[in-house]
Amino acid sequence: MDKSQIDPQDMFGAIYHFPDQIKEALVTGKKIELKNDFSKIRNIVLTGMGGSAIGGDVIKAIISDELKIPFYVNRNYDLPNWIDEETLVICSSYSGNTEEALGSYKDAVKKGAQICGISTGGKLSEQLAENDYDLIKIPGGLQPRAALAYSFVPILYLLNKIGFVSEKIISELNETVSVLESKRESYSVGESDNPIFKMAKEIYGMIPIIYGVTDTTGVVALRWKGQLCENSKMLAYHNELPELNHNEIIGWGNNPDLLSELSVIWLRDKNDNPRIKARQDITKEILNDMGIMQHEVRAEGNTKTERLLDLINFGDWLSYWCAILHDTDPSPVKNIDRLKQALEKIN
């Protein structure tokens, strides 16, 4: 299997170097020097789309045990009406030209919010500079989804500098790097000894459904879905417990021919609520009785940060190997490009 012919833009390298990217992003975070005072904010909104927004979801999951003010991730042109002068709006756009992020930036200015941004450049960086707002400049040259560490690590440092995140979170990131480095040699080999490659061979011809847990592995399920769609060019879906037990569980009824094309992947964490664990086991048994293909991936690590990023990295590799098995270049996103070009023609 000649990966270099299938993957000329080297998505392999972007995933392989994820722990290195975290280290570089830690350096970027340490260098942050703020011009503005954010000490009086009462809530935080990160606004962005796609790979930029998922960084906000990762932050929210990592800091949920210690953050004492609301943290909201916004994916839209506009912001909620409750945004005011005591809200910190973090505008996140890797390219700096995402039209939804630019729209929400203008809305933040209109609502009088305190504003900062994170980007590689583009219109967002220009507008932030014009209005003397703080900007965290991050390295360019990657697909936004492949720049995840740059999208969330510096913001954790930002929140640390303004007193909302402890040094403990930062130290956990440093510890996570060595764990990810230790695993990448086995995860990056297209052989049956690699558990991720083995799973990819079983699901790449199906439609994966990833089940996580609200406020913990739910963000990982969302990330896996996005990576399988963008890298593997295959449809994938996700949902969260306990909500799916109140509706979606009934959907596994009719259309048996279609159900046979679905594959469920359970994301599990040792700190899941005991009742959640019971729901996972019972639901898994129900689907097993129906003959549904199921896989289970358990988060590994001593801290929430380590387990969360371990699962994310697992999913990134899974999407890569599914792309290779499809003989598909994981980097281009032709339908997104086509959509953007069409939108540019509409005033």
Which are the contacts of 33, defined by CB distance < 8 A and separation ≥ 6? none
Instruction: Determine which one of 31, 198, 270, 340 is catalytic.
Output: 340
As given in the structure block, the two tokens for residue 161 are 């500098």
Which one has a higher pLDDT value, 290 or 1? 290
- Give the separation between CA 108 and CA 100, rounded to whole angstroms: 12
| Residue 340 designated active-site | yes
Q: Smallest Cα–Cα separation from 115: which of 172, 199, 41?
A: 41
Tens digits of residue pLDDT in 270-302: 999 999 999 999 999 999 999 999 999 999 999
Instruction: Determine which one of 100, 230, 240, 306 is catalytic.
Output: 230
Tens digits of residue pLDDT in 39-55: 899 999 999 999 899 99
Which one has a higher pLDDT value, 334 or 192? 334
Mean pLDDT in the chain?
A: 95
As given in the structure block, the two tokens for residue 25 are 């992003």
Query: Residue 176's pLDDT is what?
Result: 94
| Burial of residue 190 (number of CB atoms within 10 Å: 0-12, 13-18, 19+) | middle
The full set of domains in the chain, from first to last, is: 3-175 (3.40.50.10490), 189-325 (3.40.50.10490)
Tens digits of residue pLDDT in 240-256: 999 999 999 999 999 99
- Give the separation between CA 194 and CA 188, rounded to whole angstroms: 8
Instruction: Name the region of 132 (left: φ>0; alpha: ψ -120 to 50; beta: rest).
Output: left
Residue 3 has pLDDT above 90, yes or no: no
Query: How many alpha carbons fall within 13 Å on the CB side of residue 260?
Result: 3
- Give the separation between CA 175 and CA 196, rounded to whole angstroms: 23
Q: Smallest Cα–Cα separation from 282: which of 246, 252, 245, 253?
A: 245
As beta bridge partners, residue 137 has: 119
Query: Residue 273's pLDDT is what?
Result: 95
Confidence at 308, pLDDT banded by 50, 70, 90: very high
Query: Residue 5's pLDDT is what?
Result: 86
Query: Residue 192's pLDDT is what?
Result: 85
Q: Which residue has the tokens 């339908």?
A: 335
- Report in angstroms the alpha-carbon separations of 268 from 123, 280, 297: 40, 9, 6
Confidence at 1, pLDDT banded by 50, 70, 90: low
- Give the separation between CA 72 and CA 60, rounded to whole angstroms: 8
| Residue 234 DSSP SS3 | coil
Question: Is the CB of residue 222 less than 8 Å from the CB of residue 311?
Answer: no
What one-letter code names the amino acid at 85?
Answer: E
Residue 211 has pLDDT above 90, yes or no: yes
Helices 18-30, 167-187: crossing angle, 10 deg rounding: 160
| Residue 85 DSSP SS3 | coil
Query: SS3 string of 54-69?
Result: HHHHHHHHHHCCCCCC
Tens digits of residue pLDDT in 102-149: 999 999 999 999 999 999 999 999 999 999 999 999 999 898 999 999
Sheet of 262-268: strands edge to edge? Answer: 237-241, 207-213, 262-268, 293-298
Tens digits of residue pLDDT in 170-189: 999 999 999 999 999 999 99
Span 12-29, mean pLDDT? 96
Tens digits of residue pLDDT in 74-112: 999 999 999 999 999 999 999 999 999 999 999 999 999
**Based on C-alpha coordinates, what's the Rg of the chain?**
20
Instruction: Determine which one of 246, 334, 344, 345 is catalytic.
Output: 246
Confidence at 2, pLDDT banded by 50, 70, 90: low
- Give the separation between CA 207 and CA 55, rounded to whole angstroms: 25
| Residue 86 designated active-site | no
As given in the structure block, the two tokens for residue 290 are 């129906």
